[in-house]
Amino acid sequence: MNAETRVYDDVFDMLPREENPSPMVRITRLAPVEGFELFAKLEWMNPFGSVKDRAAWSMLRDLEVRGQVSATRGIVEPTSGNTGISLAAMASVRGYKARAVVPEKVPDEKKVILRIAGADVDVMTDSMCPSPGMGEGSIGMARSYARAQPDKYVMPNQYENAANERAHIETTGPEIWRQTDGRVTHVFCSLGTCGTAMGLAQYFREKHPQHKVKIIAVQPTEGHDVPGIRSKSELHVAKLLRPELVDEVLEVETEAAYAAVMELCQREGLFAGPSSGLIFEGARRVLRRDRLQGVGVMIFCDSVFKYVSSMVKHVEGLGEF
């Protein structure tokens, strides 16, 4: 492997880490305030297309080290798509079976990619979920598979697995520190499993306690239509969440998030997905409100290409910016 020349011996060598980070791009045309450098960390540049490559690899390697997966015992995971895609692709390459249990509202593109990656896909309809659209049904179904067929399936469980947040302590945090030359003052991210936010908060507090990097989480409002992340009432399934590690939580409306996607695409050339639009809109509001000075990094989870079917109803009437 030669990260400098971008020549790799194996697809797993492409996974992000301090020596081979996912790229960061400065926001210029949409910069919210003067004197604050705002960067987007483009996680869709990871080999399997999202920030979840990090957690998936960390969880899978942990299972391998503990002898929990084999040619006869694969993985089953509840997912909004991205973690499932990463896990399924990695498992397939390494010779394990994968099953993904997804809520009905997951975009069709992700369901197709899951199957292409090698996963068996179960779609949970809202009628089978205790809280429609929130994903609890898929979590329960995946757990049922693992309990009923322990010789066939193990469930990594991204919502509770410490390897999820450890991935960001070991990779995302050090990357950001190095890429900003230690100047980062704010990190903006969303809350889904909460592994990203918790891992980054732990990294900066433990490794650079005097620097006081603020972790700002951006959530959708209730009744949202932003796949992969959770509103306040939906976060109870995220057992990794420790609210005291987050400096601020900001809510952004669905339409504002989708409008920000259009802006990012048309003004910055960044084809970011809906959760990234949500994060950018939240960062913009915080920076304009507080007139901050510093260096901020936004975790852009994936690209808009996984959400074309979801975008259709939001695109009409938005026009150009």
212 is annotated as an active-site residue: no
Rounded distance, CA 1 to CA 8, Å? Answer: 4
Q: Hey, what's the torsion of the CAs at 241, 69, 13, 79, to 10 degrees?
A: -40
Helix axes 254-263, 308-315, angle to 10 degrees: 100
Residue 266 and residue 320 in contact, taking contact as beta carbons nearer than 8 Å: yes
Cα dist. 207→170, 202, 213 in Å?
11, 8, 11
First vs last C-alpha separation in the chain: 42
Residues forming beta bridges with residue 188, ordered by sequence position: 216, 298
In the structure encoding, which two tokens stand for residue 106, read together? 């997951």
In the structure encoding, which two tokens stand for residue 250, read together? 């900001």
Rounded distance, CA 108 to CA 234, Å? Answer: 22
CA 116 to chain centre: 20
Half-sphere exposure of 20 (CA within 13 A, CB side): 19
- Any idea which residue has 């700002």 for tokens? 216
Catalytic position from the list 52, 97, 214, 306: 52
Residue 208 and residue 49 in contact, taking contact as beta carbons nearer than 8 Å: no
Q: Which residues of 62-74 are buried (b: 16+ CB within 10 A; e: fewer)?
A: bbeeeeebeeebb
Helices assigned H by DSSP within 264-321:
274-290, 308-315
Half-sphere exposure of 196 (CA within 13 A, CB side): 29
In the structure encoding, which two tokens stand for residue 173, read together? 């945090």
Residues marked active site are found at 52
